[in-house]
Amino acid sequence: MKKITYFYLLLLTAGINRQLSAQDSVFFEKPTNEIRIDTLHHTNLWQIGKPQKPFFVSAYSPPNAIVTDTINSYPPNDTSSFIYVIRQPYTQSCYTCMEFWQKYDMDSIGDKGIIEASYDGGNSWLTVKDTFNVPPSYSNFQWNSDYHETSMTSTPHKLITTGKSDGWIQSQFCWQWWIGAKRDTIIPNPDSLMIRFTFISDTVTHHKDGWMIDNIVTEDLWYMCGGIAENNLNEDVVISPNPFTSLTTISFSAEQTNTTIKITDILGKEIKAINFTGKELIIMKGTMQAGIYFVQITDANKNIVNRKVLVE
């Protein structure tokens, strides 16, 4: 029986009753045209198959995963890539997430794995990095914390994959439509939304396993989208500090009456729901884990504003 990922356990505990616009997944157990192994490099290491290495003893969901060579350790001076092609970008809403399970065994000095995205059919690439605090849109990519299956703990995501993992790790990042290109420039090419995984080794032979990835899932979280208030509620709300470690304050420029504030995690699970009257509301971290959360504020006139907060 395949293992049920941490992602799906969260979805189950959240009691999913929402309709998702699109979901796509690659588990490598059957042929797929959504994975392209870069043919520009004739020595490309990436292979889909059964891993048979000292550290890579099996796929996350056996038998297959995508691995930098299923049998041999990686050589020096190598650059190998594969591309995950999102076939229907037009089905996405304003917020989409990708999760995957990974295991890695690399030299931590010069060997690394990086992830890039292309919104123009592969003509240009943008490094996937957490740009949560970049104004004015506060959009771009946001990384969720990494979940470590062995220790059942979460840690901040390392933007560059290197070193040796403590077993299988689940990573997840999300993006919004207006990163890199406007929506109407994406639609004409159905293969224009791509995620590229690239492994790079230095000049030294290390006899290590490399990088292994399994169970890639993309999910359209349309319910995270919402209208901007017509009465400038968006400009009237300040959340500070953001990021925060113990508490943050939601401040309004005008007195609020019967305003609803809902906080959900990155998978849509409701964390807090508060009916509020006043000008300032203190939100305590409590049991919230490190990561990105969504704050939806609905005033008495049903105007809605959405914000993101980062818990450290």
164 DSSP assignment: B
Greater model confidence, 99 or 40: 99
Backbone torsions φ then ψ of 7, nearest 5 degrees: -60, -45
Greater model confidence, 34 or 220: 34
Is there a contact between 139 and 110 (Cβ–Cβ < 8 Å)? no
Lowest mean pLDDT among 98-107, 110-119, 278-287, 299-308: 299-308
Query: Has residue 182 got a pLDDT over 80?
Result: no
What are the C-alpha distances in Å from 43 to residues 47, 56, 71, 77? 11, 20, 15, 11
What was the pLDDT predicted at 34?
85
Query: Has residue 178 got a pLDDT over 70?
Result: no
Greater model confidence, 155 or 213: 213
Q: With b meaning 16 or more CB within 10 Å and e meaning fewer, what string describes 244-259?
A: beeebebebeeebeeb
Q: What is the mean pLDDT of residues 281-296?
A: 88
Gyration radius from the chain CA atoms: 21
What was the pLDDT predicted at 206?
93
Token representation of residue 112: 């690394």
Is there a contact between 213 and 48 (Cβ–Cβ < 8 Å)? no
CA–CA gap between residue 126 and residue 115 (Å, rounded): 9
Share of the chain above pLDDT 90, in %: 38
The confidence band for 266, taking pLDDT boundaries of 50, 70 and 90, is confident
Count other C-beta atoms under 10 Å from residue 78's C-beta: 18
* Digit-coded pLDDT (tens) for 129-145: 755 444 444 345 778 78
pLDDT averaged over every residue in the chain: 78
The confidence band for 199, taking pLDDT boundaries of 50, 70 and 90, is very high
Query: Has residue 58 got a pLDDT over 80?
Result: yes
What was the pLDDT predicted at 121?
73
Lowest mean pLDDT among 98-107, 170-179, 208-217: 170-179
Query: Has residue 8 got a pLDDT over 70?
Result: no
Q: What is the mean pLDDT of residues 146-159?
A: 88
* Size (the chain), residues: 312
Query: Has residue 104 got a pLDDT over 70?
Result: yes
Among residues 232, 281, 235, the alpha carbon closest in space to that of 256 is found at 281
Count other C-beta atoms under 10 Å from residue 203's C-beta: 7
Q: What is the mean pLDDT of residues 22-39?
A: 83
Whether the model clears a pTM of 0.75, i.e. scores above it, the answer is no
What was the pLDDT predicted at 140?
57
| Largest interatomic CA distance in the chain | 66
Mind listing the domains of the chain with CATH numbers? 6-224 (2.60.120.200), 233-311 (2.60.40.1220)
Residue 182's contacts (CB-CB under 8 Å, 6 or more residues apart) are none
Is there a contact between 222 and 297 (Cβ–Cβ < 8 Å)? no
Residue 140, SS3?
Answer: coil
Count other C-beta atoms under 10 Å from residue 278's C-beta: 11
Query: Has residue 102 got a pLDDT over 90?
Result: yes
Lowest mean pLDDT among 39-43, 214-218, 223-227, 296-300: 223-227
The confidence band for 122, taking pLDDT boundaries of 50, 70 and 90, is confident
Query: Has residue 288 got a pLDDT over 80?
Result: yes
Q: What is the mean pLDDT of residues 49-56?
A: 97
Q: What is the mean pLDDT of residues 165-177?
A: 85
What was the pLDDT predicted at 222?
58
